[in-house]
Amino acid sequence: MCELKEVKGIGPKSLSLLNKININTVEDLVTHYPFRYDYLVRDNLNEIEDGGHIVIDGKIESVPILMRFKAGLNKMNFRLVTQSGVVGVSIFNRAFMKKDLEVGIGITVIGKYDKKKNIITASEIKLSPLSNKVKIEAVYHSTSGLTVKNLSTYINMALLMFGKKIPDYIPQRYIEKYNFVNKKTALNIVHNPPDDNKLQEAKYRLKYEELFQFMFKINYLKHENKKKNTGIKRDIDREKVNKFINGLSFKLTGDQLKAVDDIIKDLESSNRMNRLLQGDVGSGKTIVSFIAMYINSLCGYQSALMAPTEILATQHYNNLKQIFKDAGIEIALLTGSTLKKEKNEIYKSLENGSIDVVIGTHSLIQEDVNYSNLGLVITDEQHRFGVNQRGNLKNKGIMPDILYMSATPIPRTYALTIYGDMDTSIIKEKPVGRKPVLTYLKKNSEIKDVLSMMLEELKAHHQVYVIAPLIEDSESSGELATVLDLRDKMKLAFGEYFKIDIVHGKMASRAKELIMQEFQQNKIQILISTTVIEVGVDVPNATTMVIFDADRFGLSTLHQLRGRVGRGDSESRCILISDNDAKRLHVMEKESDGFKISEEDFKLRGHGDLFGTKQSGDMEFKIASLKDDYDILIKAKEDSEEYLLDEECKDELKENFIKSMNVNY
């Protein structure tokens, strides 16, 4: 591929600006897609004020007159016939266009309209007039010093010079099957859309291409995983495992036992484990992963458990210390707030093998950690962190087994695609004695009822979560509940008898951790919070959750939030406060199954907030979106499977695909 600096117009300064926004190759440049299109409506001469911006179509009526000035400047004048009258056009420094500006051809002129002189001073002339009444203009993310216009110029220059060399990742047979335009044309259209139909077609093609690549990888991984004996084969002492399980303070559910069994089989087999453990909130996934780590330690390998937040990592660490207290297993916690000195010691111990289990946030995989013999990697409550995430796991030659845990109830069809390379264990059954969380909808005017419900629970020595969409008022115009405001109100109502505190994303990690610990130990009875407690937090004595402005949250988020209560034997309740009668909230009232809720969410809001705002790892696409392009995803999945499994097909593209998949993690 050609280098960026070979593109005409890109000098050292613009090169470094481009690098700043992660454009490092010509391919990066031409796939720096517009994030938005502006639809400029065509103007009418009469409607434009003197000096106003104008976009207008017309036919050239007079031969352009070219004037040249000193210093190489030039100017052209001609008359243009438009639907709203004849107008003079003058444009500077476009002498090179003179030969194209023939009398009678249609053009689009963009510029400034001098009403008195009836002249447009054009900044731009488009030779092929856009067929519609609107002009579609690409808008790009850029960086200061690099105007959108410059960016657009570079992109178009790159396409002009190297467009034919931009690799196309769609195999020929599918280009033919779907009658796709070629890659260069598609890119050209996406950057300079002539009309909406062509734009949609070109986008479809580029999305398909991206998803095809993605699904090819997933299918390939699945295929290879099944074929190769790259995993660790373990001899497992089942008696010891059973003893450990029987020593737990509760009896595992049938689904938990089945999941443990699936995992044992994976760990025994010489195939690498690549398993997704899915289960609704509160179904008890954590203990299953702890058992997996116990087995892994018994066999002499290290384990790493990654959680999405420090709160959660710390919670797992404290639990694990308790559960492993007699097992002779060394555990360490490694997060962003671990002190440097301590960190270095943990690194050392991981390298020499004196730590058996390390728990941390996802930075665990990003940091330069050397393991002595890492045998098992577990990630909690996170969408997968990349199809072929290699990370920096430096491990002595062996390939660790992988277990993902997720409570996100993604519909099956989706799971089959994005988790398509994994085996899955599903925990459906809740631990015995669990009652569904009673859910009520209330209006702000019914706050007294809410407070008295809270009081009853507090008097029964239970704890309460209160959730607000915002931290403080500066974030809104005062119409939404905030953590700080609710703290004052709760203090007024309950402060005399109960301890109240807050936790939110803007607090330092250490402070958050302390508050969570105190809540866990029932030193705090009412915890007011933003959605930072959405994921994973486990305090079984908390039996009530009150969510203010509940209509501000998606159903999946509400379900996750509600999952923080109903974790013990006592009856729990969740009160959703909202003055907007959102239909969605009624779903929460009658439904407690996370999968059904997410299906409802799909029906009501499209793919909703399933994937959060940010997708992780390889799930970031440049043009496709898992949210909106499900149909294309399915096509890409089927086609890429067919292509991969077609033994006869050995084309260059396929070889390159496979070569690029140097999966070593």
Q: Of Mg ion, ligand ADP, none, which one does residue 252 interact with (CB within 5 to 8 Å by kind)?
A: ligand ADP
Residues 236-255 that bind ligand ADP (CB under 6 A): 250-253
End-to-end Cα distance, the chain: 27
CA separation, residue 184 to residues 20, 168, 382 (Å): 25, 9, 37
Give the span between the Cα atoms of 235 and 558, in whole angstroms.
43
Nearest-approach distance from CB 279 to ligand ADP, in angstroms: 5
**Given the rule CB under 5 A, which of 129-137, 221-229, 445-453, 534-542 is the region that contacts Mg ion?**
534-542
Is-contact 180 186, C-beta < 8 A? yes
Is 54 a binding residue for ligand ADP by CB under 6 A? The answer is no
Is 308 a binding residue for ligand ADP by CB under 6 A? The answer is no
Is 567 a binding residue for ligand ADP by CB under 6 A? The answer is yes
Give the span between the Cα atoms of 196 and 185, in whole angstroms.
15
- Of 286 and 531, which has the nearer Cβ to Mg ion? 286
Nearest-approach distance from CB 336 to Mg ion, in angstroms: 20
* CB-closest chain residue to Mg ion: 536
Give the span between the Cα atoms of 156 and 317, in whole angstroms.
53
Is 308 a binding residue for Mg ion by CB under 5 A? The answer is no
Is-contact 279 427, C-beta < 8 A? yes
Nearest-approach distance from CB 281 to ligand ADP, in angstroms: 4
- Of 171 and 279, which has the nearer Cβ to ligand ADP? 279
**Given the rule CB under 5 A, which of 91-99, 135-143, 318-326, 531-539 is the region that contacts Mg ion?**
531-539
Instruction: State which of residues 58, 279, 360, 566 lies at the interface with ligand ADP (CB under 6 A).
Output: 279
Is 284 a binding residue for Mg ion by CB under 5 A? The answer is no
Q: Of Mg ion, ligand ADP, none, which one does residue 305 interact with (CB within 5 to 8 Å by kind)?
A: none
Nearest-approach distance from CB 662 to ligand ADP, in angstroms: 34
Give the span between the Cα atoms of 183 and 432, in whole angstroms.
57
- Of 283 and 463, which has the nearer Cβ to ligand ADP? 283
Is-contact 441 589, C-beta < 8 A? yes
Q: Using the 8-state DSSP alphabet, how is residue 49 labeled?
A: P
Binding mask 417-446 for ligand ADP (x = CB under 6 A): --------------x---------------
Give the span between the Cα atoms of 633 and 418, in whole angstroms.
9
> What are the φ/ψ torsions at residue 609 (nearest 5 degrees)?
-100, 25
- Of 463 and 482, which has the nearer Cβ to ligand ADP? 463
- Of 271 and 286, which has the nearer Cβ to Mg ion? 286
Is 282 a binding residue for ligand ADP by CB under 6 A? The answer is yes
Look up residue 435 and give its two tokens. 């009652």
In the numeric block, the tokens 């990697």 are attached to: 377
Size of the site for ligand ADP (CB under 6 A): 19
Instruction: State which of residues 400, 536, 568, 608 lies at the interface with Mg ion (CB under 5 A).
Output: 536
Q: What is the DSSP string of 608-648?
A: TTTT-SS--GGG--SS--TTT-HHHHHHHHHHHHHHHH-TT
SS3 label, residue 471: coil
**How remote is the C-alpha of 83 from its chain's centroid?**
48
Ramachandran area for residue 179 (φ above 0: left; ψ -120 to 50: alpha; else beta):
left
**Exposure class string for 507-538: b at 16+ Cβ within 10 A, else e:** eebeebbebbeebbeeebbbbbbbbbbbbbbb
Residues 521-550 that bind ligand ADP (CB under 6 A): 536, 538, 540
- Of 286 and 529, which has the nearer Cβ to Mg ion? 286
Q: Of ligand ADP, Mg ion, none, which one does residue 188 interact with (CB within 5 to 8 Å by kind)?
A: none
* Strand ranges inside 340-459, DSSP E: 357-361, 370-371, 374-380, 394-395, 401-406, 423-427, 438-442
- Of 286 and 309, which has the nearer Cβ to Mg ion? 286
Q: Of Mg ion, ligand ADP, none, which one does residue 594 interact with (CB within 5 to 8 Å by kind)?
A: none
Is 64 a binding residue for Mg ion by CB under 5 A? The answer is no
Q: Of ligand ADP, Mg ion, none, which one does residue 253 interact with (CB within 5 to 8 Å by kind)?
A: ligand ADP
Q: Of ligand ADP, Mg ion, none, which one does residue 250 interact with (CB within 5 to 8 Å by kind)?
A: ligand ADP
Non-local (6+) Cβ contacts of 185 within 8 A are 202
Closest C-alpha to 29, from 47, 55, 3: 3
Is-contact 509 336, C-beta < 8 A? yes
Q: Of Mg ion, ligand ADP, none, which one does residue 282 interact with (CB within 5 to 8 Å by kind)?
A: ligand ADP
CA separation, residue 150 to residues 14, 142, 247 (Å): 9, 10, 67
Nearest-approach distance from CB 319 to ligand ADP, in angstroms: 8
Is-contact 574 439, C-beta < 8 A? yes
Nearest-approach distance from CB 259 to ligand ADP, in angstroms: 11
- According to DSSP H, which parts of 37-114 are helical? none
Q: Of Mg ion, ligand ADP, none, which one does residue 284 interact with (CB within 5 to 8 Å by kind)?
A: ligand ADP
Nearest-approach distance from CB 386 to ligand ADP, in angstroms: 22
Q: Which residues bind Mg ion (CB under 5 A)?
A: 286, 536
Q: Which residues bind ligand ADP (CB under 6 A)?
A: 250-253, 256, 279, 281-287, 407, 431, 536, 538, 540, 567
